[in-house]
Chains A and B, each alone.
Chain A
Amino acid sequence: MSINTQAICDLFAVPGKVAIVTGAGSGIGEATAHLFSKAGAKVVIADLVLEDGQRVADAINADGGEAIAISCDVSDEPQVQAMVAKARETFGGIDILVNNAAYRPKADFFGMGVDDWDRMHAVNTRGTFLCMREVIKVMRDQGKERGGAIINISTIGTALPTIVNNVHYDSSKAGVNSITKSTASEFAVDGIRINAVMPGGVSTGGAKKMQTDPSRNFVPKGPIMMPGRLLLGMAEPIQLASAILFLASPASSYMTGHIMAVDGGYLVG
């Protein structure tokens, strides 16, 4: 049986679309940026660390794609405004936003200072809000026919506890889930679809570093560390990127406000 590549392309390709991926200098964001480029998008790599973002943009450009890197702290309003303005100016519009940038340091519940709590919510929750607000302005400006797709990266920790010393992170991401549903309802009329992905355990550089770097003084414990709880084992970033591409592409044209776990069965394990 021959494959109709065009049929697959019609569903999952994003030709000519402009995508901003925050936190795309590593991990899930980096895999998503590469996948988007192969699926035909022009990609804006927004990362706190410019050299990480530039490395990813260079790799995409060397591979025949089109990408730029922009340094951006998503918790900083002027930086987000400048990033979105540059993205629009460079590529002539914005069609896709992936809010992937996250702050993740663990903190003991009793030892956690309000600074830890606030920084977590500033990056993960306020950062998602700021990026969405600036990008939705552009998407509305471009008209309902062009519309847009926004994918927020959350965590299964918002649905079931996974790891200790992560209360502030889970709280910040539960806010992201809520933002996802509220904005999906509010901006459906503008043709903008907004969904979230909840990753489970993912083998990213950050996760590996968290578990091996003694200076972080963190021994991971909690339900997710129990043998067998991740029914299908740890995910590679590409598995998350695939679901993100699905939610950015015409394949999900009738989905909005959905919070989708890509967790290898953790939530049923």
Chain B
Amino acid sequence: MNPQFETQIAPMFCLTGKVALVTGGAVGMGKSVGLAYAAAGATVVLADSDERVAALVDLPAGVSARSYDITSEEAIATLVADVVSECGGVDILVNGAVVNHNKPILETSAAEWDSVQSVNLRAAFITTRQVVPSMQARGGGRIINITTIGSVNPVLIGNGAYSASRAGLNQFTRNCALDFAGDAITANAILPGAIITETIPSSLKPRGPGADPTRHLGGFGKPEYVNGIALLLASPAGRYITGQLIAVDGGFLIS
């Protein structure tokens, strides 16, 4: 390895001494980003449902997992309080938790609509509200929300509730960037494209522009494709980037 890389570049992307809380952290992009943060030196807490946390095995040093009920305000408050007390605080929050029923709009019940907004938007708000005081106390922080390119342009038919929730999270991200800039807290959203994760049900029969493989100029993606931008946004190198919605989509939005 180039010695200059080790001494001068690596520290720019390094997370030594930082604590990262990743929701939706036991699967897909959340897990991938959490492990990348740990490799960059952070202490990482992966938060997810009971079932998903139970399925996690062989976590590397510095990474722990915690289960909670993401629909409960009290459970989120307890999660954050426990992480702050055990790890000393939180410097990086990744709101990666997501649900998607993928149902036609005319067949989506109000209860299903509410459940999607609850996980994808309301929980991100509550978690952010709980975490930011710790970031303020520690002199700064990074909020990274994982949304979707479907929040900007439709991708699949049947994603009405999901895309609306993610568009809400985009704008919440931009407002966090404004509200917390004075605290040296940045807030950005990553908009993944057709990144294939284990959480996509095999029953899903994708229909719509995104179902055409040729629209994804770089082909379908893997969860680790978001690690680079997630690390840039969390690291010293990314401290001037805030309020941005950054597509990691193999060119779908321009196809």
Contact = CB atoms under 8 A, between A and B. Distances in A.
Bind each other: yes
Q: Max chain A CB contacts within 10 Å: which of B195, B243, B254?
A: B254
A264 B242 contact: yes
A265 B39 contact: no
Contacts of A35: 9
Contacts, number: 175
Interface residues of A, number: 53
Contact of A185 (B5, B36, B239, B254): B254
Nearest to A189: B217
B177 A39 contact: no
B118 interface: no
A188 B242 CA distance: 28
A3 B181 contact: no
Contacts of A258: 246-247, 253
B2 A4 contact: no
Given A7-B36, A258-B247, A38 B238 contact: no
A2 B41 contact: yes
Interface in B221-255: 221, 225-229, 231-232, 237-244, 246-251, 253-255
Interface string B19-42: 000000000000000001011111
Interface of A: 1-9, 11-13, 15, 35, 37-40, 63-65, 181, 184-185, 188-189, 231-232, 235, 239, 242-243, 245-246, 249-258, 260-265, 267-269
Given A254-B193, A261-B244, 16 more contacts: A1-B43, A1-B62, A2-B41, A3-B40, A7-B39, A9-B6, A11-B227, A12-B228, A37-B4, A65-B4, A231-B181, A235-B240, A249-B228, A251-B228, A257-B217, A265-B243
Interface of B: 1-2, 4-6, 8-10, 12-14, 16, 36, 38-43, 61-62, 174-175, 177-178, 181-182, 184, 186, 193, 195, 217-218, 221, 225-229, 231-232, 237-244, 246-251, 253-255
